[in-house]
Structure 1
Amino acid sequence: MAEDDDIKTGFASPPCYAHELELFDNGYMGVDVQAALDVARWRKAKRDELIAARLKFSVKDRRALAQEITEELERILTPKAGMILSLYWPMKAEFDLRSWMKKLVEKGVRIALPVVREKAHPMIFREWKPDAEMEPGIWQIPTPVNTDEVTPHVVIAPLVGFDKDCYRLGYGGGYFDRTLAVLKPRPKVIGIGYPDSRLSSIFPQPHDIPMDMIVTGREGVISREP
């Protein structure tokens, strides 16, 4: 099946900005609610703009960028047997790294996928293999079932946008932030996205947790500024 067909089949639209405000109802006190609402509205508009832009990329160009990103990730990580690496199932023109996932499994790397068990709570990670049983999860994204729950050494997170300080603009559900806030030990976290998705700032809020680095395939590796 072609990449575009994979992306279009069974995936719902990303959440609206109201999901971001749930973060402030779950333990983030002392926040200027009006300012948070303004940021959430701005993020919703910017998210829609960036997703629309990347949907215009041809499948050929998308695959070329995905190849550049996997080569950079191989250089950064040097994946080896026993490493637990969290990746993702692509949607909305995200880079499709599933072929790389299969190759990593053949090398003995353990691949995990994030799983939402309960709305507005941290995710867990379940091991994935090419023959794993899958079921629709949140937003109808396939997730593994009946596999081991694991703690990844490295989390590779798709992003919609990012800024110079490696803050990630995601889909607004806040799941990665909640998860990274409680994971122990904290894994290395790498965001991947389109080169043109860089923003001057995402206006980070108290709940936002920056990535350790961002990989886009054309700008090299962007690491957090000291």
Structure 2
Amino acid sequence: MGVPDDETPGASFASPPCLMHELDPAFGGIGVDAQQRTDVARWRKAERERLIGARLAMPVAERQAFAERIIGRARDLIGNPAGRVVSAYWPFRGEPDLRPLMEWVVSCGGRPALPVVTGKGQPLTFRLWSPGEPLERGVWNIPIPAEGQAVVEPDIVIAPVVGFDPGCFRLGYGGGFFDRTLAARDPRPRVLGVGYARQGIATIFPQPHDIPMDAIITEAGVSEPPPGQKTEA
């Protein structure tokens, strides 16, 4: 699910921001000063645009084939979804289409859900939705479950990535919605990022607010955070 890019205004550039090479991603950007935060945000904006452009340039048939592989790997990681709430997303701007995965969740006795943006700077909420049920338009006209659908706490959250790094840190659309959502949940749901292998980058230069995914699923395989890396806010 895409959300508006509100991370920072201003110009963007594709080269590493000033002093970013001094940041140790293992420490999540602790101690980063205001200028570095601005540089990181500008770099992310440019990298986000590059990665989305590359994703949209992929042939539709290739994206569909990769999505099928991703769904197979996701099913293996989820296991039996019976009695559990699994939140996915509505495909946007070339993201892997996981609607067949939601159908599988229903067929196994699970309950699929979709995320809903309630306001800028606010955590997401999750509404139950099964294929065929009513939808309405949300942020950026992305379909969301119709008003009145039950709000739930998911056991598993599947989040699309614009980019990702070896620490399973997710580069999203810049709104910070997923990070706020995960930080507000106790206990935290299991979080699986999904994307294409070509969206992998050396680092997203993690900041204190960034929360790594429990795993990243691509058509090429499954990645998990390095042993000993902190995975909770």
* TM superposition score normalised by structure 1: 0.86
Counterpart AA for 2:131: P
Give the CA deviation at 1:14: 4.6
Distance change (3 Å), C-alpha of 1:225 and 1:12: closer
Answer whether contact 1:154 1:188 (CA < 8 A) is retained.
yes
Matched letter for residue 178 of structure 1: R
Q: Could you say what secondary structure the match of 2:151 adopts?
A: coil
1:15 aligned onto 2:17: no
Q: Quick check: 1:201 aligned with 2:191?
A: no
- Structure 2 residue aligned with 1:217, among 213, 216, 219? 219
- In structure 2, stretches of 5+ residues that fail to align are 10-29, 228-233
> How much has 1:12 moved relative to structure 2?
8.6
What is the DSSP-based 3-state SS (H/G/I as helix, E as strand, rest coil) of the residue aligned with 1:181? Answer: helix
Question: How many residues are matched?
Answer: 206
Letter in 2 for 1:194: Y
Greater share of helix residues, 1 or 2?
Answer: 1
1:68–1:12 CA distance, 2 compared to 1 (3 A) = closer
1:17 deviation in Å?
3.7
Structure 1's unaligned 5+ residue stretches are: 1-10, 20-28
**Counterpart residue number, 1:77:** 78
Alignment partners' CA distance in 2, 1:13 and 1:154: 20
Query: Is the contact between residue 3 and residue 173 of structure 2 (CA under 8 Å) also seen in structure 1?
Result: no
TM-score (norm 2): 0.83
Identify the range of structure 1 (160-169 vs 78-87) with the bigger mean alpha-carbon deviation: 78-87
Task: Provide Cα deviations, 1:125-152, integer angstroms capped at 9, x if missing partner.
Answer: 1101223222111222111121111111
Q: Is 1:186 aligned with 2:188?
A: yes
Alignment match of 1:174 (pick from 168, 173, 176) = 176
Question: Partners of 1:13 and 1:105 in 2: how far apart?
Answer: 26
Amino acid at match of 2:144: T
Distance 2:2 2:223 in 1: 31
Structure 2 distance, partners of 1:49, 1:113, is 27
Q: Is the 8 A contact 1:12 1:140 kept in 2?
A: no
- Runs of 4+, deviation exceeding 6 Å: none
Q: How many angstroms does 1:79 deviate by? A: 3.0
What SS does the aligned partner of 2:70 have? helix
Does structure 1 residue 46 correspond to structure 2 residue 47?
A: yes
1:59 shift after superposition: 1.1
Q: CA RMSD in A?
A: 1.9
Aligned partners of 2:165 and 2:202 also within 8 Å: yes
Q: Deviations over 1:83-136 (max 9, x none)?
A: 110100010100111122123212211001111112111111110122322211
What's 2:124 paired with? 123
Q: Percent identity?
A: 50
